[in-house]
């Protein structure tokens, strides 16, 4: 039985993960970490990790970037493998994860969905073929409570596309502040916020008289929760290093 500490346990995603974990026979959430301790769970919830005295095998973080420093400090002190699924991390925080991975196993993904990671592979292949004659635009849509924009997934898609292009492109956001025609050396990234949209990502390749569009639509938060729990199982017993969804999918 893999014992999990869930950071952000009383948030929307944390509650979905909690519900799904109860159906798993190979893992159990034994402790939570959250600034909100008003929700009663089947496990103890701490607002201070220094008070957490529960035996833990893996940490899952689906919370807020502000929690990262204390989580990393706790994980490093206890030598606990950790899965970080929180979006909106700054570059300095991602660098902190990489530094921590020299001492503990660290799993980081901008999106925990297998489908989204397949989309990333597909758009990389398309970009290699189409880059000379097609403009590339990324549109992401999320619910009205999402704080960061554009989404971490949209940026991950843009980075993946840029990684395979012969000539690197600059990112242009929304274009509302610039009245000029589109450059051939850019990737447009656009964010939509409204209602209860779980998550939609579209990559548009627009050429002369034809358009190719690759989409992923999340119908519920459960796909991300399942991904996080699968990552926790995957990370149990791993050695120090940086891991991601490609490693999980390929079973490395």
In the chain, the percentage of residues whose pLDDT exceeds 70 is 100
DSSP summary character for residue 64:
-
**Whether 51 and 105 share a structural domain:** yes
pTM: 0.83
Q: Are residues 138 and 47 in the same domain?
A: no
Q: How far apart are CA 131 and CA 167, in angstroms?
A: 9
| Residues with catalytic function | 142, 146
Residues 124 and 187 in one domain: yes
In degrees, to the nearest 5, what angle opens at C-alpha 131 toward C-alphas 130 and 137?
Answer: 95
> 105 with 139, same domain?
no
Cβ(203)–Cβ(155) under 8 Å? no
Q: Do 239 and 149 lie in a common domain? A: no
- Give residue 148's pLDDT: 87
Q: Is the peptide bond before 60 cis (omega within 30 degrees of 0)?
A: no
Q: Is 196 annotated among the ligand-binding residues?
A: no
Cα–Cα distance for residue pair 52/37, rounded to 1 Å: 14
SS3 211: strand
Together in a domain, 158 and 88? no
Residues 37 and 92 in one domain: yes
Number of domains comprising the chain:
2
199: which 2 tokens? 């998550």
Domain extent at residue 205: 114-218
The CATH number linked to 153 is 3.30.360.10
Write out pLDDT tens, residues 37-92: 889 899 999 999 999 999 999 999 999 999 999 999 999 999 999 999 988 888 99
Asked if residue 121 and residue 29 are part of one domain, the reply reads no
Determine the Cα angle at 1 with ends 228 and 57, to 5°. Answer: 60
196, 129: one domain: yes
127-159 residue pLDDT tens? 999 999 999 999 999 999 998 899 989 999 999
Q: Are residues 92 and 168 in the same domain?
A: no
Neighbours of 31 (CB within 10 A): 22
Stretch 203-208: mean pLDDT? 98
**Could you tell me if 167 and 228 lie in one domain?**
no
Q: Residue 211 forms beta bridges with which residues? A: 206
| Closest to 55 in 3D by CA, of 5, 106, 20 | 5
CATH of the domain at 231: 3.40.50.720
Residue 15 and residue 78 share a domain: yes
| Tens of pLDDT, residues 216-240 | 999 999 999 999 999 999 999 999 9
């Amino acid at each position: 039985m893999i014992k999990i500490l869930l950071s952000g346990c009383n948030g929307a995603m944390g509650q979905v993960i909690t519900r799904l974990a109860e159906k798993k026979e190979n893992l159990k959430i034994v402790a939570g970490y959250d600034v909100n301790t008003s929700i009663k769970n089947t496990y103890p919830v701490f607002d201070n990790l220094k008070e957490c005295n529960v035996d833990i095998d893996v940490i899952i973080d689906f919370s807020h970037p502000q929690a990262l420093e204390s989580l990393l400090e706790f994980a490093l002190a206890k030598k606990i493998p950790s899965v970080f699924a929180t979006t909106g991390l700054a570059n300095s925080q991602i660098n902190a994860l990489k530094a921590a991975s020299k001492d503990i196993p660290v799993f980081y993904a901008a999106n925990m969905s297998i489908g989204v990671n397949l989309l990333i592979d597909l758009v990389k292949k398309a970009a290699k073929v189409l880059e000379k004659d097609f403009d590339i635009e990324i549109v992401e849509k999320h619910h009205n409570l999402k704080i960061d924009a554009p989404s971490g997934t949209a940026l991950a898609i843009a980075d993946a596309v840029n990684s395979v292009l012969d000539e690197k492109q600059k990112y242009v956001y929304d274009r509302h502040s610039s009245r000029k025609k589109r450059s051939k050396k850019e990737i447009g990234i656009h964010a939509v916020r409204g209602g209860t949209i779980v998550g939609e990502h579209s990559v548009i390749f627009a050429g002369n008289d034809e358009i190719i569009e690759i989409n992923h639509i999340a119908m519920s938060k459960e796909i991300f929760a399942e991904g996080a729990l699968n990552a926790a199982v995957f990370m149990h017993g791993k050695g120090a290093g940086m891991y991601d969804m490609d490693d999980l999918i390929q079973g490395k």
